[in-house]
Amino acid sequence: MTKLFISDLHLSPSNPTLTQLACDLLDAKKNQVDEIYILGDIFNTWLGDDLVPDEFASFVATLQALSAQGIKLHLMVGNRDFMLGHAFAKTVGARLLDDGYLLDIAGHKTLLLHGDSLCIDDVSYQRYRRVVRNPILQCLFLALPARFRQYISDKIKQKSQQKKQMKTAMIMDVNQAEVVRVMRERQIDLLIHGHTHRPAIHSLETQAGNKVHRVVLGDWQDKVSYLLIDDRQLRLHDHRVAGEESQLRLT
C-alpha cells in the first residue's frame, strides 16, 4: 500500500498556477497511491466551508475524482486554514483528521501533525493558536457575514506578518525538546509534519539506543513537494532535498 503525503500548499484564489500544479500532481499520482494525506495549510486562507472560492473548483473536482476512484483521502487543518471543517471534507469525499493522528506505517507507529504545535518557543503564536481553535469562537466567526470574516482574516494576517518580521527563524522552528517529549509520550518511532517549510528527514536516538525519525514536509511555491511511503521505504520528493538525505528504509 502506497501513501502520499503533502502539506503547506497555501492555495490562493490569486494564484491559479499553484492550484493547477496541485491538480496536476494529484492526477499524475492517482494510479500509484492508495491513500492521500494533506497535513494542513491546504489553503492560504479559509473563511468557512460555506464560502469556497470559485477559483478552487478544479481542485475540489480533482479531490472528488480521486475519492470516486477509491483512493482514501485524509485532510488536516493547519494554522492558515483552521476553519476548514467536516462539511468540506464530506464534499470532496475525505476524512478530516485531528491534529495528532496515529497510524501504522509498515510496522512503525506513526504520528501525523501539522507541526505548529511543536513550535513552543513562539509563545505569542501558541497563545493565538489556543484562542482561534476555541470551538465557541469559531462558531461565532462562522455566524458573521462573509465581508466581516474577510475583514477579520485580513487584519489577523497583517498583524501576523508584522510580528513575523520581528521573530528569529529559531523561534518559528520546532522545539527539539518538545519533539522528543511528544515522540516519547506517544511512543512513536515516526513523526510526519509540515508547517516549518524546512523539508528534511531527521534521525533521533532514544535513551534506549533506538533510532526514531521525523519527516518534515516541504511547502509549495512554484515547485511541488511530497512524500511517498510504501511498505519498504519512504522518499521525500523536494528540490531542496536530494540523494540519501531524501529517503529512508522502513524494513
| 114 belongs to an annotated ligand binding site | yes
CA angle 31, 34, 37 (to 5 degrees): 115
Q: Which residue has the cell 466567526?
A: 141
| 10 belongs to an annotated ligand binding site | yes
| 124 belongs to an annotated ligand binding site | no
| 160 belongs to an annotated ligand binding site | yes
8 Å CB contact between 46 and 12: no
| 202 belongs to an annotated ligand binding site | no
Q: DSSP assignment of 49-114, as one string?
A: TT---GGGHHHHHHHHHHHHHT-EEEEE--SSSTT--HHHHHHHTEEEPPSSEEEEETTEEEEE--
| 122 belongs to an annotated ligand binding site | yes
The C-alpha cell that represents 124 in the structure block: 505569542
| 24 belongs to an annotated ligand binding site | no
| 157 belongs to an annotated ligand binding site | no
Three-state secondary structure call for residue 39: strand
| 197 belongs to an annotated ligand binding site | yes
| 134 belongs to an annotated ligand binding site | no
Phi-psi region of 247 (alpha: psi -120 to 50; beta: other; left: phi over 0): beta
DSSP annotation of 207 reads: T
- Amino acid of residue 90: K
> Which amino acids are annotated as binding site for substrate, given as ranges?
79-80, 122, 160, 164, 167, 195
> Which amino acids are annotated as binding site, given as ranges?
8, 10, 41, 79-80, 114, 122, 160, 164, 167, 195, 197
> Which amino acids are annotated as binding site for Mn(2+), given as ranges?
8, 10, 41, 79, 114, 195, 197
